[in-house]
Amino acid sequence: MEARSGLTRAAIMLSAGMAISGTAGLFSIESGQPTLNVIFFRCVFGAIALVGWTCLREGWKSLFITQRALWPLVLVSGVCLVLNWLALFEAFKLTSIGFATIIYHLQPFWIVLTGALLLKERLSRDRLGWICVAFLGLILTIIPKLGVMRADHDWLIGVGLALVASLFYAATTLTTRAVKTVKPSVLSAIHCLIGIVVFAPFVDLTALQGAGNGMWGWLVGLGVIHTGVVYILLYSSYPRLPITVIAAGSFLNPVAALLSDFFVFGRSISAMQGAGLILILLAGLAVNLGWPFGFGSARRVAPSQES
């Protein structure tokens, strides 16, 4: 019973983190800053929030990773994360927040595929079925935009960047799962520090001249809320959850992004996209609550083994 309660708590944390993260595109666009500036200051304010949180909860000594064998994975996961931000935030500008986020959420399928083929994780038929339902919902949300993609080359570039971002984020998730001994807040803080180092040479200082308090408000929010709060929630839940639950829960992110597009920028959602969103929500809820898929008893499906 205690283990089930812990799994439920982790699933709730994952869902909350993913839903909040879906509004990151809104903050980045509203800041009015170039993408490299947005990412740099996200890392700065995110690092401040995460280091402060860790020092208050665990003490400053917890910020140091003593196991040298973990550093390569920590560095790889951090680089993948900040490159993921770079590609995704630029995709927001070239397409739209909602559409880029939808394409970006091909990443759960890279995670599931990698988990099955490389990590030899066993997948139940029920969860595989619900993942397929979510994939169908994803397709339904993309179809109405196909015509726009053919006419606008920026849209095509944006789609490509969103796809690249999804690959980087999948790599971040998998490498993060391999460093479970590192506290989530410490890992997130190190990732932000890596981002500061990587993007500091590319900050456009002229774009900051004459910027009002509103711009700084969006950037601080992006760092504190979408990096500090969200990554504490996500990295606290990842080690406690199987890959399929992470994949399904992450679909809450595009729902929040599409709603941001609708209520803030007036970009309407078509009936087909609405149907896709319903399928995505249904699949995420079903996996988190352990609903059976179809009829018959649940069976375990192991990844194929070829000699």
In a domain, 184, yes or no: yes
Domain count, the chain: 1
Instruction: Give the domain range for residue 92.
Output: 7-58+67-291
Q: Taking 90 as the threshold, does the pLDDT of residue 290 lie above it?
A: no
Q: Is residue 27 part of a domain?
A: yes
Is there a domain that residue 134 lies in? Answer: yes
CA-to-CA separations, 32 to 57, 97, 171, 216, 219, in angstroms, rounded: 34, 14, 29, 10, 10
CA distance 191 to 206: 26
Q: 198-226: string of b/e by CB count within 10 Å (b at 16+)?
A: bbeeebeeeeeeeeeeebeebbbbbbbbb
The pLDDT confidence band at residue 79, using thresholds 50, 70 and 90, is very high
Distance CA 145, CA 142 (A): 6
Average pLDDT over residues 99-103: 81
Quickly tell me which residue has 């509103």 as its tokens: 214
The whole-number average pLDDT for the span 244-273 is 80
Does residue 143 sit within a domain? yes
Provide the whole-model pTM: 0.80
Task: Give the percent of the chain with pLDDT over 90.
Answer: 27
Please, which pLDDT band fits residue 204 given cuts at 50, 70 and 90?
Answer: very high
Q: How confident is the model at residue 233 (pLDDT cuts 50, 70, 90)?
A: confident
Specify the pLDDT at position 304. 32
**Secondary structure (3-state) at 8:** helix
pLDDT in tens, 165-174: 988 988 888 8
Let me know if residue 300 belongs to a domain: no
> Is residue 301 included in any domain, yes or no?
no
Token reading at 282: 């249904």
In a domain, 194, yes or no: yes
Domain-located, residue 1 = no
